[in-house]
Structure 1
Amino acid sequence: MQKDHLLTRRRALLTGAATLGAAGLAVALSPVTGNRAAPPAPPAAGAQAARRPLQPSAYRLRPLTGYGTPRTTGRTPVREEPLLRVDGRGRTMVLSFDDGPDPRYTPHILDTLARYDVRAMFFVCGEMATENRDLLARMADEGHVVGNHTWTHPLLTRLSRRRIRSEMERTCDIVEKAYGERPEWFRAPYGAWNRAAFRIGAELGMEPMAWTVDTLDWTTPGTATIVDRVEDGAAPGVVVLSHDAGGDRSQSVRALRAYLPELLDSGYHLTVPRRQYA
């Protein structure tokens, strides 16, 4: 019953996409729904460093007015390199968070995304997901995309094909149980990809997603520095990498509260990718 409920909510939130891309894959960007709420309180960190102003745009968030045709499944291509950015109409960007879910930080990130009615991607580790299934269920309810980040976050290039498959497949299984659907995207820990990872990922029905802008938030450079890196790197099609687990992520939480409204005020669509198969 719970799984059926999650599937129903999930499909209602994320149905419909525009056809884009090549090699049998299209990446579509779904507009987020609703109006913006009042801005949150300023981050607890100190004063932010000066940065260049973001350029305004005529593009604004628009409510979802209808649903497209249901997605049909098919063969996933085996790639030789990961996707680094996404295509879309207007000033579209994707926010992604790795290594979670972590009950200390992920709920705060979800709260901020919900405040502005924005969807994001969460690449989860199986060993974290199995202890925090309620957070994956919340991601499903709120329309976020959950991807596969392996079970224990190993360096895949040092593993046998059997170990790589086990890391990926176990995480697919726990995501399906907690989130309601098997993941359609995967990200290699440390950005270390090899032929076996691409092939096994494709066999499990997943596309490899990397990133365009790395906030390097795992180095805890300071909230203002993380904000600057996101805003300086903002551009159509950009995929931003941040973290919601793996260490002290309080700076990442505060940075999101600061740069998210700035991106929206500058006319960016913060969206999630959708796949269509040949």
Structure 2
Amino acid sequence: MKKDQTPQDRRSVLRIAAYLGAAATAGLLLTEGTGSPRPGRPAAPPAPAAGQNPAGGAPGSAARTAGASAYRLQPMTAYQPMRRALPPVRRRPFHRLPEAGRTMVLTFDDGPDPRYTPAILRTLREYEVRAMFFVCGEMATEHRDLLREMADDGHVIGNHSWSHPLIPRLAPSGIRSELGRTSEVIEQVTGAPPLWYRAPFGAWNRHSFEIGAELGMEPLAWSVDTLDWTEPGTGTIVSRVRDGAAPGVVVLSHDAGGDRSQSVAALRHYLPDLLADDYRITVPRR
């Protein structure tokens, strides 16, 4: 299911704001940059043609697509999040935590995938750290056991849309469906709706910020991109995390969307290194 890569071999290049009011958020998070993909990132793939498998022919994609299609045939009501104060509408995503101590956040996109997510969860459990997982609804609905495992281990589960489309190409109703249905699955499985979301490809627009806020979510981008979707080698991924390590950094990696064995192996190398350097690997809380 490669959607942050070229149409044939990638899936994601592209929520850290905690669920907070504007004043509280200003005290917790720092913003920087714009919502646009950064220069040098590969262009997003064209929207798949009608009937085309958006998974790009990845192993098991046919089964996933069939499951997602069956789900789409079910009657769907507008998703309404749990009653709570809504966050303000942002004009850009958050990119980092405040530089208060040696704190970093590890994030993983596109899963859950039974081939790679369990190994990542085992490593995080071994070192007793928490991470953020931005899941796609069509993957989450088929691997609810992994979603429960994430929640049981204390990880933060974010919304990465249903089918990983290029958000700016969708009408507002399409954005609402992509985000709303994914939030619905997360709440059904974990008992709580997500408080963060990340746009596929890092491609945000005004409607996505507005609809995300209506659904009770804050937008999160990243400040260190491992580019692990390019499969550059375990050592290169490790070096990118080590070189980018700094207070407040948010690291982008993937646990699905292609062969993520290098991402799994790299985590086992750089995580103990970060901890040895006195970094605190954390997640945002309310």
What range describes the TM-score normalised by the shorter chain of this pair? 0.7 to 0.9
Q: Is the Cα contact below 8 Å between 1:148 and 1:186 reproduced in 2?
A: yes
Partner of 1:248: 259
Which of 108, 114, 117 pairs up with 1:106?
Answer: 117
2:181 matched to 1:147? no
> How much has 1:179 moved relative to structure 2?
1.9
Q: Is the Cα contact below 8 Å between 1:157 and 1:193 reproduced in 2?
A: yes
Gaps of 5+ in 1: 1-17, 30-71
> How much has 1:25 moved relative to structure 2?
2.2
Q: Is the Cα contact below 8 Å between 2:91 and 2:209 reproduced in 1?
A: yes
SS at match of 1:94: strand
Name the aligned partner's letter for residue 198 of structure 2: R
Distance, in Å, in 2 between the alignment partners of 1:19 and 1:220 is: 34
Partner of 1:260: 271
Normalising by structure 1, report the TM-score. Answer: 0.74
Partner of 1:156: 167
Gaps of 5+ in 2: 1-17, 30-82
Distance, in Å, in 2 between the alignment partners of 1:225 and 1:153 is: 26
> How much has 1:178 moved relative to structure 2?
1.3
Partner of 2:25: 25
SS at match of 2:94: coil
Distance, in Å, in 2 between the alignment partners of 1:256 and 1:194 is: 32
How many residues are paired up? 216
2:219 matched to 1:203? no
How does 1:59-74 map onto structure 2 within 5 Å? 73-74=84-85
SS at match of 1:25: helix
Structure 1's 19 and 241: CA in aligned 2 closer, same or farther, altered over 3 A? closer
Distance, in Å, in 2 between the alignment partners of 1:97 and 1:249 is: 11
Structure 1's 79 and 182: CA in aligned 2 closer, same or farther, altered over 3 A? same
Task: Provide, for residues 207-239 of structure 1, a one-character-per-residue CA deviation record: whole Å limited to 9, x for no partner.
Answer: 000000000000000000000000000000000
Distance, in Å, in 1 between the alignment partners of 2:21 and 2:206 is: 21
Kindly report the root-mean-square deviation, in angstroms, between the aligned alpha carbons of the 2 structures: 2.0
Structure 1's 26 and 147: CA in aligned 2 closer, same or farther, altered over 3 A? farther
Task: Provide, for residues 126-151 of structure 1, a one-character-per-residue CA deviation record: whole Å limited to 9, x for no partner.
Answer: 00000000111111111000000000
Partner of 2:97: 86
2:250 matched to 1:239? yes
Q: Is the Cα contact below 8 Å between 2:22 and 2:88 reproduced in 1?
A: no
Distance, in Å, in 2 between the alignment partners of 1:210 and 1:164 is: 18
> How much has 1:241 moved relative to structure 2?
0.1
Name the aligned partner's letter for residue 187 of structure 1: R
2:168 matched to 1:176? no
Deviation beyond 2 Å, 4+ runs, structure 1: 18-29
SS at match of 1:109: helix
Q: Is the Cα contact below 8 Å between 1:20 and 1:87 reproduced in 2?
A: no
Partner of 2:14: none
> How much has 1:89 moved relative to structure 2?
3.0
